[in-house]
Structures are given as C-alpha cells and as structure tokens.
C-alpha cells in the first residue's frame, strides 16, 4: 500500500478500497470465505466505475487544452490515451504488477504481465481513488499522471502518426492479441542515448526500431510492423 501511495502522492482513507482494487476475481474466488482474508470483494465493479471516471476526466481535460479539435478528433485522441497499452504502461509505473493479488491459475500464466489485466487493475484503482478522494482530487492526480502523455501527442495529426495505436488495432483484428514492446538495446551517454525497441505478438517479433527515446523507437518499430502486415 505504501509503495502505491508514495507513487501516486495520495494516502487512502479507506485502505480496503485500494486492497480491493488490487484483488483479481481469480484470487477472490479461491479465498472466498477465508477468515484470514480481509478482502470483501474483487475489483470488477471498481473497474467499471474507474473506466467512466477516466473517460470523464480525460474528455474534460482534452476539451480545455484543445478547443480547436472537433468531437471526432477528441474521441480518437482519448482512445489513444485509454487503450490497453497505455493503461498497462501506467500500471507498471505504479508497480501494480508486483502487488496485484492473483489466483494460482493466473500466477502460472504470468497474469501480472498481461497488458489487458494490468489495464483493468489501473481502471479499478481509478474507481477506488474516486470513491476515497472524490472527483476533484482524483482528477488532479489523473491529470498529473497523464500529463507527459498529453504533451507527447501530435494533436493535429496524431492518428496518422501514432503508429502504436494503429498497430494495436491491426494486431487485435488479425491475431486477437495485444502487441508488446521491449527495449533490446541502448547506446551512448545519458544525455544522448539511442534506444532499440522491438515489437512482438506472442513470441513472434514483428519489427524493431531506433530512436532517441523509448517512445520514438517504439513508434518506429510500430511503423515498420504496419508495413509488414
């Protein structure tokens, strides 16, 4: 709990809400009725709530920041911010992969590394944050969390140039899976590093890319993968 609260910059008044947000249904079902467990429920309802809160917060922030973009453009931008890849990346930043409570089956299949599951946990956390802190505080924390991602998007041509989003849509359509990006090499001094990133579906490597940031390298890898597909 302390790890998450330190990362987020907020201390929960009701710690059971945070515990519930980290409790997957598989774990809850295995420990239902255990007197040694303090978990009152799993996180699916919090995920439902968090999804709605996240959409409202990001919609409001995007409208304030970019009044010149129409609703269709804003919808696409919001979709690029709340997709599985982005939310799972934030979940990893918050160390949710180390703290989520999973059943034995999910543990055996490395459930704590699955982007879909991690994205769901983040949405559950948002739901818990909203219930504990209220909307205004939850929004403040979420805007801060997404701020660098707001700034990284090319809002005029974001979908054309956001190859990661386009690749994710294509891969899910063809393979019914989510692409995974891995840093396989980095060279140079700290102030001018060059990163090499590869994108995979399962064990299949689709492409690799280079860039002066991990995001830039990932975009190049996604662009090359799209050309191959």
Question: Is 132 tagged catalytic?
Answer: no
Q: What's the chain's Rg over C-alpha atoms?
A: 19
Whole-number Å distance between alpha carbons of 190 and 196: 15
Q: What is the largest CA-CA distance in the chain?
A: 56
Report whether 8 contacts 86 (CB < 8 A): no
Distance CA 22, CA 42 (A): 8
Q: Which string of b and e fits 29-40 if b means at least 16 CB within 10 Å?
A: ebeeeeeeeebe
Identify the active-site residue in 47, 51, 61, 106.
51
**Active-site annotation holds for 51:** yes
Q: Which among 84, 123, 132, 162 is annotated as catalytic?
A: 123
Helices (H), 66-180: 71-81, 84-93, 96-99, 104-108, 115-133, 135-152, 158-161, 163-175
Instruction: Give the residue numbers annotated as catalytic, written as ranges.
Output: 51, 123
């Amino acid at each position: 709990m302390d790890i998450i609260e330190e990362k987020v910059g907020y201390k929960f008044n009701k710690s059971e809400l945070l515990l519930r947000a980290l409790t997957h249904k598989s774990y809850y079902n295995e420990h239902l009725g255990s007197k040694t467990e303090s978990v009152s429920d799993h996180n699916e309802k919090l995920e439902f709530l968090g999804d709605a809160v996240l959409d409202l917060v990001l919609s409001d922030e995007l409208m304030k920041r970019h009044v010149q973009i129409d609703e269709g453009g804003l919808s696409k931008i919001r979709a690029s911010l709340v997709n599985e890849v982005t939310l799972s990346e934030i979940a990893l930043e918050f160390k949710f992969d180390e703290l989520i409570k999973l059943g034995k089956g999910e543990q055996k299949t490395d459930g704590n590394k699955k982007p879909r599951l991690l994205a769901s946990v983040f949405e559950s956390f948002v739901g818990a944050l909203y219930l504990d802190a209220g909307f205004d505080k939850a929004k403040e924390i979420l805007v801060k969390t997404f701020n660098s991602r707001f700034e990284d998007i090319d809002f005029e041509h974001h979908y054309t140039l956001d190859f990661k989003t386009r690749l994710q849509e294509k891969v899910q359509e063809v393979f019914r899976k989510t692409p995974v990006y891995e840093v396989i090499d980095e060279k140079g001094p700290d102030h001018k590093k060059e990163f090499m990133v590869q994108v995979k579906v399962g064990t299949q490597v689709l492409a690799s890319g280079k860039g002066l940031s991990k995001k830039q390298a990932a975009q190049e890898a996604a662009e090359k993968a799209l050309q191959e597909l």
